[in-house]
Amino acid sequence: MLRALWHESEQQKQRIEELSKRSDDLYLENLQLQKELLRYKKATYGPRADRLSENELAQALLEFAEELEQKPLPAEGLPQGEAEPEVRRVQRRKGRRALANFENLPVSTHVYELPAEQRRCSCCGEQRQEIGSEESWQIEYLPGHFERLRHVRKKYACAKCELAGENPQIATAAKAEMAIEKGFAGPGLLAYIVTSKFADYLPLYRLEDIFERQGFEISRATQSVWCGDVADVVEPLYRRMAERVRQSHVVATDDTVFPMLGPGQTQSTRMWVYVGDEANPYNVFDFTLNRGREGPKEFLKDYTKFCWRMPMEATTEWWPATPSRVPDVGRTREESLWKRRKRRRRSPARPWI
């Protein structure tokens, strides 16, 4: 009896030691997994310098999966039965898109006819007659290509005056006005470069590679000069948009840091955006070398209506006093609007404007 109790006590001690060892192993494994999880979170959502590339992240996940497969699973952790995989069904649109309804796209028709030797009837040898046709539609993309435009300006002279020894009155036909005077870049090429850079965010060095692949190399320095020339051409349009924005009842503005290359190091400049109201739906940008009040004060020097700006300390002293006052309040409209917004921030349910 005593021997059996002693043997059972030894088994319990051994079991306790195994459970304690397993608990320590699980604790260490949990710490390791938490460390790996923090590393992956930092690599995915952390600063750009700490992020992993897609290849490094995939390799790390693969190594983690291999280590996980090599570890034995406890008996209680094994699944009792295989669950049926959930079938994900994607709802697709029935039928094909009616390409014939895209009337905004130009149509190029290709007609296919039987050759003369295939028009003979295989039964009687007579010539088969056309009885109809079958139509099908297809979408095609024609990539851009370069062309040389040759401009020939005809000259005209008076033969009668020339025979009489007088001035022949020579006249030359006028050429279409060019965006860049004496430049060899056509308006379509300039529009493509400017749209690709500022609307599609395509760097000029990539455009340089694209042009070289198409058979004509244009350096990024030349493209940059052309962008400046286009800016000079469309400056009247920019000034008109700025005038329309200043005619708005409410103008919203904010600034962001804009790095600019300078001698020695990169300078932190500012780019301001001014947004008009529904009657003047334009977004106008203004560049300043610093965050001082001179830039916005110059842009809005004749503006006397409401202006909404972000609540920043550097923007609280932009606006000079104007003759127009809010009734019964001894403040300007802009100052009153600012105070009203600070007061209503405590009550989210009420709009501030």
**Is the CB of residue 307 less than 8 Å from the CB of residue 294?**
no
Backbone angles phi, psi at 66, to 5 degrees: -65, -40
The Cα–Cα gap between 13 and 9 comes to 6
- Whether residues 253 and 295 fall in one domain: yes
DSSP track, 259-322: EE--SSS-EEEEEEEEE--TTS--EEEEEESSSSSHHHHHHTTT--SEEEE---GGGTT-PPP-
| Cα 110 → chain centroid | 37
248 and 195 within one domain: no
| Residue 318: predicted pLDDT | 43
In this structure, what token pair is assigned to residue 7? 């043997």
The C-alpha angle with vertex 10 and arms to 6 and 12, in degrees rounded to 5, equals 115
Task: State whether 251 and 202 are in the same domain.
Answer: no
| pLDDT, position 305 | 84
Residue at 254 is within a domain: yes
**Distance between CA atoms of residues 196 and 317, nearest Å:** 39
Task: Write out the residue range of the structural domain in which residue 303 sits.
Answer: 235-344
Q: Which of 200, 233, 266 is the last residue of a domain?
A: 233
Residue 286 included in any domain: yes
Check whether residue 184 and residue 264 sit in a common domain. no
**What tokens appear for 33 in the block?**
């997994």
What is the helix (H) or strand (E) element at residue 239, kind and residue range? Answer: helix 235-246
Which backbone phi and psi does 93 adopt, to 5 degrees?
A: -70, 135
Apex 151 CA angle, 150 and 155, nearest 5:
135
Residue where a domain terminates, one of 184, 202, 233: 233
Q: Which amino acid is at 144?
A: G
pLDDT of residue 230: 94
Query: Are both 306 and 336 inside the same structural domain?
Result: yes
Q: Number of structural domains, the chain? A: 2
Mark which of 179, 213, 233 sits at the end of a domain: 233
> Mean pLDDT by 10-residue block, N- to C-terminus, for the chain (353 residues)?
78 86 86 82 67 68 72 57 61 62 82 87 85 84 85 89 85 87 89 93 94 90 93 94 92 89 86 92 92 87 79 45 35 50 48 40
CB atoms within 10 A of CB 87: 5
- Residues 200 and 190 grouped into a single domain: yes
Which CA distances in Å does 3 have to 6, 10, 11?
5, 11, 12
Phi and psi at 278, nearest 5°, equal -65, -30
308: Cβ contacts below 8 Å, ≥ 6 apart: 250, 251, 252, 253, 337, 353
Q: What is the pLDDT of residue 194?
A: 95
Give residue for tokens 């009420």.
350
